């Protein structure tokens, strides 16, 4: 990720509809897995750390994180985070079987990540029976050169590709669902039409995380909030992201 994008991430994580909705989905997902309040949870690739804050408030007291970027680490003190370190997901600095759950959001698609090695590392640090929760961008045709260059990503996923990755280690797949189905038509239209009104900037690329009118931001959040209620009963057949939840089997 470009260094200046971490400031964007820090500024928007608490208010932007996408982050608010996703973090609530993740918190509810872990709650549904029956984690104890003293369970140890790792956020692999935690960025500037708002998800860590949310998980520590809503799920478990022992929440740890790491990110490869020193630019991300610069924001951790402002969030009051202490159980964090700078490291690569390709070489996670924790012992085998250390965590009850591992969460990773939009990390495996990054250019600097060896997805097979990173997945092996997350599986390694999970306890037997531990829960792995991944969020990944969906559909290769949604690729945007400027946005993905800004965030350092060069892959998007299908459900089949996620299953193929998970099957490289012994796991029980608990659920596999798309996310953001309710806003998907807007996202798809934006990505498809984007080249016609905007020349992509590869010299100083910027992500698509930008200020929205308050009413628009709140409306989009409410769509995702309604979707979260559906997710309690159904896996969604389409959407701009994929949620995968698996249990480590040994």
- Which domains does the chain show, CATH number per domain? 5-248 (3.40.50.150)
pLDDT for res 155: 94
Residue 161 to residues 139, 167, 179, 205, Cα–Cα distance (Å): 10, 10, 16, 28
Give pLDDT tens digits for 194-234. Answer: 777 665 556 788 888 899 999 999 999 999 999 999 999 99
Under 8 Å between Cβ of 243 and 179 = yes
Mean pLDDT of the chain: 94
Under 8 Å between Cβ of 106 and 153 = yes
Give pLDDT tens digits for 56-109. Answer: 999 998 999 999 999 999 999 999 999 999 999 999 999 999 999 999 999 999
pLDDT for res 200: 55
Average pLDDT of 21-49?
Answer: 95
């Amino acid at each position: 990720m470009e260094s200046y994008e971490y400031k964007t991430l820090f500024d928007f994580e608490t208010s932007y509809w996408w982050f608010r909705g996703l973090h609530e989905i993740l918190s509810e997902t872990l709650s549904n897995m029956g984690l104890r309040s003293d369970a140890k949870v790792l956020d692999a690739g935690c960025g500037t750390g708002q998800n860590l804050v949310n998980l520590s408030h809503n799920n478990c007291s022992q929440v740890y994180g790491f990110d490869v970027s020193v630019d991300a680490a610069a924001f951790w003190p402002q969030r009051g985070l202490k159980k964090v370190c700078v490291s690569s997901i390709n070489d996670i600095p924790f012992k085998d079987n250390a965590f009850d759950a591992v969460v990773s959001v939009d990390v495996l698609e990054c250019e600097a990540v060896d997805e097979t090695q990173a997945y092996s590392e997350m599986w390694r640090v999970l306890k037997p029976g531990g829960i792995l929760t991944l969020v990944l961008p969906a559909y290769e045709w949604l690729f945007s050169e400027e946005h993905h260059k800004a965030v350092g990503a060069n892959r998007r996923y299908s459900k089949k590709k996620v299953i193929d990755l998970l099957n490289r280690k012994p796991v029980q797949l608990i659920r596999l669902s798309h996310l953001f189905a309710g806003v998907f038509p807007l996202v798809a239209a934006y990505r498809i039409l984007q080249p016609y009104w905007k020349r992509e900037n590869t010299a100083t690329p910027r992500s698509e995380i930008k200020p929205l009118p308050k009413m628009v931001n709140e409306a989009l959040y409410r769509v995702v909030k309604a979707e979260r209620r559906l997710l309690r009963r159904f896996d969604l057949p389409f959407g701009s992201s994929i949620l995968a939840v698996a249990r480590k089997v040994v």
